[in-house]
Amino acid sequence: MSQIEELKKKIPTHITVLGGGSWATALVKILSENQVKIKWWIRRKSDVDFIRKYNHNPSYLTDVAINPRKVKTYHKMSDALHGVEYIILAVPAAFIPSTLKDLNKKHFEGKKVVSAIKGMIPDENMLVTDWIEREFNLPLGQTCVIAGPCHAEEVALEKQSYLTIASPNLALAQSFSNLLNSRFLQSHAIEDLYGVEYCAVIKNIIAMACGITRGLGFGDNFQAVLVSNAMQEIKLFLDAVYPETNRDLNSSGYLGDLLVTAYSQFSRNRTFGNMIGRGYSVKSAQIEMNMIAEGYYAVRSIYHISRQHKIQLPIIEAVYAIVYEKANPQLEMNKLKGFLK
Ligand SMILES: NC(=O)C1=CN([C@@H]2O[C@H](COP(=O)(O)OP(=O)(O)OC[C@H]3O[C@@H](n4cnc5c(N)ncnc54)[C@H](OP(=O)(O)O)[C@@H]3O)[C@@H](O)[C@H]2O)C=CC1
Ligand SMILES: O=C(CO)COP(=O)(O)O
């Protein structure tokens, strides 16, 4: 190793993490165990005060120990943005516009932005990276996304996991990926930012569909067919909206993330869908869950984009009808039976 490389290894990378939910907490844990110093912005002052005092997040992944030598918590966002190389966005997409409303392009100048978000900006039907590019004039080459099958709960328990880091700037994706790797986490870099970002959004809707069918009493056989057909819907959508010849949809950043969300006990989207299948209203399911199911917002955006592109996505359309048009879940799934093969 050259002297410069040795020196680089000793100098910590400075990163801001915006968001205080489960995924932010897991990312803070992984990164702070590596050569990284973190400025962690959390929206609730009481949570900031608690972490400063007890070194644990009181609201999400409460068992994770936060290292105060590596992690400083902030309630004022602008204070958390000074002197860092990366800004990680880990706030559900629906709250991104209100959360970042006081920031301007100066706050992002010279920094790289990493989206850990698997959702869309609801009213504008935009991917988070596109929205950040437009709002803060940040070139896509300074942006990457964290994708792949990775439930925060399992990362917190140090269960072997894999991530895919995507950016049109492969060198950036690779550098960020190096900051994450650990004895229980392996990440790799790819260029297909839009592909994995859209796939992460759509798999949440499919996980909701799986939850709905389970809530209605459908079994493993039906779910396997639902998930196989869902993969074809994802392909149809991506080929229409953002075609890419080198995309391997069977790899873990795409199919893997669909599978973990469709089948895992930890999935919020699946849990949310399950409640709808069991007869909860959307409002009561949201109130019952302390966490956010991104698929609820995403299904409206994906439905509208698919209409613009004149593509038919029967599973997405069924979830849209159930969640936004108060269609009967059982009748929608019965209709779907005719489309699935
Ligand atoms: N959890 C996971 O396993 C993974 C999550 N992701 C993605 O990470 C992103 C963040 O989700 P995650 O960390 O899981 O969040 P959680 O569902 O664990 O927590 C909800 C978060 O949303 C915030 N929030 C709720 N209401 C509002 C509001 N009105 N305005 C602003 N913020 C609000 C909460 O803040 P407060 O506590 O102050 O209410 C909290 O930070 C999502 O896009 C998700 O898809 C990606 C990979 C894995
Ligand atoms: O994206 C995730 C795992 O990769 C988390 O999915 P949920 O939001 O459904 O829990």
Q: Which CATH number describes the domain made up of 195-337?
A: 1.10.1040.10
- CATH 3.40.50.720 intervals, the chain: 3-191
| pLDDT for the residue 290 | 82
The burial class, CB within 10 Å (0-12 / 13-18 / 19+), for 82 is exposed
pTM: 0.97
Whose CA is closest to 84, among 21, 3, 165, 176? 176
pLDDT recorded at residue 206: 98
pLDDT value at position 245?
86
Note the pLDDT of residue 4. 56
What integer pLDDT is reported at residue 175 of this predicted model? Answer: 97
Q: In the structure, which protein residues have their CB atom closer than 6 angstroms to any atom of ligand 2? A: 118, 149-151, 204, 207, 257, 260-261, 266-269, 294
State the closest ligand 1 atom to the C-alpha of 294, by its place in the atom list counted from 1: 45
Residues of the chain with CATH 1.10.1040.10: 195-337
CB 203 within 8 A of CB 263: no
- Asked whether the beta carbons of 273 and 209 are under 8 A apart, the reply is yes
Q: Determine the distance separating the centroid of ligand 2 and the alpha carbon of 26, expressed in angstroms.
A: 13
Burial class (CB in 10 A: 0-12, 13-18, 19+), 277: buried
Among 203, 235, 326, 341, the active-site one is 203
| pLDDT for residue 161 | 98
Going from the Cα of 262 to the center of ligand 2, the distance in angstroms, rounded, reads: 9
- The dihedral over CA atoms of 199, 205, 206, 212, expressed in degrees to the nearest 10, equals 170
Q: What is the pLDDT of residue 224?
A: 98
The per-residue pLDDT for 9 is 65
Average pLDDT per 10 consecutive residues for the chain, totaling 341 residues: 60 96 98 97 98 98 98 98 97 98 96 98 97 96 97 97 98 98 97 98 98 98 98 98 95 98 97 98 93 96 98 98 97 95 93
Query: Which numbered ligand comes closest to the C-alpha of 50?
Result: 1
* Residue whose CA is at the smallest distance from ligand 2 atom 8: 268
Distance separating alpha carbons of residues 202 and 48, to the nearest angstrom: 33
Ligand 2 atom with the shortest distance to the CA of 23: 5
Q: Give the ligand at the shortest distance from the Cα of 22.
A: 1
Q: Is 203 a catalytic residue?
A: yes
Contact (Cβ atoms closer than 8 angstroms) between residue 102 and residue 76: no
Q: Closest-lying ligand to the alpha carbon of 118? A: 1
Atom of ligand 1 nearest to the CA of 19: 41
The predicted structure's pLDDT at residue 2: 61
The number of the ligand 2 atom at minimal distance from the alpha carbon of 266 is 10
17 Cα to the center of ligand 1, angstroms: 12
Tokens of 59: 């609201």
- The CATH number corresponding to 3-191 among 3.40.30.10, 3.40.630.10, 3.40.50.720, 3.40.50.2300 equals 3.40.50.720
ipTM value, please give it: 0.99
Distance 126 CA to ligand 1 centre (A): 18
- Residue to mutate (ligand 1; options 43, 131, 155; most atoms within 8 A of CB): 43
